[in-house]
């Protein structure tokens, strides 16, 4: 083969992207505050998401004849009679989805450990310093599809059992200058996966790295020079946080919800959560462009799965008596029922939704009494047909101001 450079091997269309500049590193948030942060960041999707469902998430009322119900405990908040987008990129929906998937995966891994099944944790990467996000996604999806087939075919042929995969696409955003393109912004896309065979196999003689190299070459159409550890394979003896790590970008681990940074050969990276937080703080046009580019590229894509084998094992997993006892102890939630016009007014006021939820979470009786009185006033105006949207909003602005919410950032 003729000598070649990394640029020539990995050549692919790369659109122009901007720099994010400086951004504030997030402080680690306590678990009980995570929901309030997620509610605050939902506003970014309302303003800038190309997805219609994300623009209406948490603010569209399903049935105007029924009240909107806010509920809170010391560690959680929920809303009923409200539409949700269920998008991976939504700070509110991603958290619940990630938590649910991680619980299934954790139970499945625990059951596989009890039965001494063959379980491997895989991290699969591709070159990210010269490819656009959209092209990375295409190559990674095609390569992973071929890779799963190869692993399954090998184990099925040599050991007589099928292999199931649980996986999630993950990405961070490098803020250092890319050596390949000279651009300051470049997404880093990779896959976390668990390969599981329902048998005790011992040492499986299979060259995972070589298979991954061949699959990436096939997906790209020519040879690709991968990084030294483009395919990392680790043993899984117990869950130990692996399930949360795999689904971290769905909101279940620190790098999404706590803004943890990484350091690597190509410089520090920011998580998707940090990108959303940066937009919420600054409304930076370059950051908004990056945010929208990622959402457009991911639209309609299947990017995560627990897998049938893991789901079946999770259903068969029995909790210990200590775990069952812990689940029976439940805190009684506090409730606030609002007319749909009141909810619409609250979500139109910057910071109001998380402010009301925080008061409910803390069981602040004085504030809750004021909110209930304001809701009755708004409902009476609505039923008497003596209202406008601005009038309803104004009485809520006044009520929230009396309760301590700063109105400096309130916008129409």
**pLDDT digits over 373-399, tens only?**
999 999 999 989 888 889 999 999 999
Q: Are residues 243 and 383 in the same domain?
A: no
Beta strands in 286-330 (DSSP E): 304-305
Structure-block tokens of residue 37? 């942060």
Q: Are residues 248 and 389 in the same domain?
A: no
Q: Are residues 299 and 355 in the same domain?
A: no
Q: Are residues 358 and 378 in the same domain?
A: yes
Minimum mean pLDDT range among 72-81, 233-242, 306-315, 320-329: 320-329
Q: What's the mean per-residue pLDDT of the chain? A: 78
Note the pLDDT of residue 63: 94
Domains identified in the chain, total number: 2
Q: Are residues 98 and 246 in the same domain?
A: yes
Q: Which tens digits make up the pLDDT trace of 225-280?
A: 888 888 988 877 655 556 555 555 343 333 333 333 344 443 467 777 778 888 88
Q: Are residues 119 and 201 in the same domain?
A: yes
Whole-model pTM over 0.95: no
Contact 301/136 with Cβ under 8 angstroms? no
Write down which residue in 268, 295, 327 finishes a domain.
327
Report yes or no on 6 lying in a domain.
no
Q: Are residues 73 and 129 in the same domain?
A: no
Backbone angles phi, psi at 144, to 5 degrees: -70, -35
Give the SS3 label for residue 49.
coil
Minimum mean pLDDT range among 94-103, 165-174, 320-329, 382-391: 320-329
Q: Are residues 389 and 257 in the same domain?
A: no
Report yes or no on 135 lying in a domain.
yes
User: What's the sign of the alpha-carbon dihedral 124, 127, 129, 133?
Assistant: negative
Reply yes or no on whether the pLDDT at 368 is more than 80: yes
Q: Are residues 144 and 191 in the same domain?
A: yes
Report yes or no on 34 lying in a domain.
no
Long-range own/partner contacts, residues 354-357 (CB < 8 A, 24 or more apart): 354/36, 354/37, 354/39, 354/40, 355/400, 355/403, 355/404, 355/405, 356/70, 356/400, 357/35, 357/36, 357/39, 357/70, 357/72, 357/77
Most confident of 7-11, 30-34, 393-397: 393-397
> What proportions of the chain, in percent to the nearest 5, are helix, strand and coil?
50, 15, 40
Structure-block tokens of residue 345? 């007014």
Q: Are residues 246 and 266 in the same domain?
A: yes
Q: Are residues 276 and 201 in the same domain?
A: yes
- Which residues pair with residue 189 across a beta bridge? 171
Stated length of the chain: 412
Report yes or no on 163 lying in a domain.
yes
Report yes or no on 22 lying in a domain.
no
User: What's the sign of the alpha-carbon dihedral 377, 378, 381, 383?
Assistant: negative
Query: Which range marks the domain in which residue 273 is found?
Result: 91-327
How far apart (Å, rounded) are the C-alpha atoms in residues 301 and 297?
A: 8
Note the pLDDT of residue 81: 95
Lay out the sheet containing 77-80: strands in order across.
77-80, 68-72, 334-338
Report yes or no on 32 lying in a domain.
no
Contact 74/284 with Cβ under 8 angstroms? no
Write down which residue in 268, 302, 327 finishes a domain.
327
Write down which residue in 327, 360, 387 finishes a domain.
327
Note the pLDDT of residue 149: 94
Q: Are residues 95 and 199 in the same domain?
A: yes
């Amino acid at each position: 083969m003729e000598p070649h450079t990394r640029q020539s091997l990995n050549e692919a269309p790369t659109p122009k992207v901007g720099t994010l500049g400086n951004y504030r590193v997030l402080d680690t948030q306590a678990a009980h505050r995570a929901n309030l942060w997620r509610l605050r960041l939902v506003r970014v999707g309302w303003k800038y998401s190309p997805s219609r469902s994300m623009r209406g998430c948490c603010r569209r009322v399903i049935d105007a004849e029924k009240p909107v119900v806010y509920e809170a405990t010391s560690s959680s908040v929920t809303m009923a009679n409200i539409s949700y987008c269920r998008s991976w990129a939504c700070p509110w929906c991603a958290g619940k989805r990630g938590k649910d998937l991680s619980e299934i995966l954790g139970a499945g891994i625990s059951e596989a450990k009890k039965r001494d099944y063959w379980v491997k944790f895989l991290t699969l990467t591709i070159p990210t310093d010269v490819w656009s996000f959209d092209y990375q996604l295409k190559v990674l999806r095609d390569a992973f599809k071929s890779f799963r087939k190869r692993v399954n075919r090998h184990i099925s042929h040599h050991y007589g059992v099928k292999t199931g995969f649980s996986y999630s696409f993950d990405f961070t955003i490098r803020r250092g200058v890319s050596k390949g393109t000279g651009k300051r912004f470049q997404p880093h896309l990779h896959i976390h996966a668990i390969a599981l065979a329902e048998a005790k196999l011992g040492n499986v003689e299979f060259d995972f790295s070589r298979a991954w190299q061949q699959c990436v070459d096939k997906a790209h159409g020519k040879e690709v020079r991968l990084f030294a550890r483009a395919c990392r394979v680790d043993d899984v003896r117990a869950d130990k946080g692996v399930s949360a790590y795999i689904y971290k970008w769905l909101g279940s681990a620190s790098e999404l919800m706590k803004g943890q940074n990484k350091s690597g050969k190509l410089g520090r990276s920011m998580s998707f959560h940090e990108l959303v937080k940066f937009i919420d703080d600054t409304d930076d046009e370059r950051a908004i462009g990056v945010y929208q580019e990622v959402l457009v590229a991911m639209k309609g894509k299947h990017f995560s799965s627990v897998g049938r084998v893991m789901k079946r094992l999770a259903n068969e997993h029995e909790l210990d008596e200590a775990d069952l006892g812990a689940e029976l102890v439940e805190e009684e939630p506090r409730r606030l029922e609002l007319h749909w016009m009141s909810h619409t007014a609250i979500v139109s006021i910057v910071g109001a939704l998380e402010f009301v939820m925080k008061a409910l979470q803390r069981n602040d009786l004085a504030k809750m009494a004021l909110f209930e009185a304001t809701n009755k006033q708004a409902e009476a105006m609505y039923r008497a047909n003596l209202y406008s949207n601005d009038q309803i909003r104004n009485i809520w602005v006044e009520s929230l101001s009396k309760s301590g919410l700063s109105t400096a950032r309130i916008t129409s």
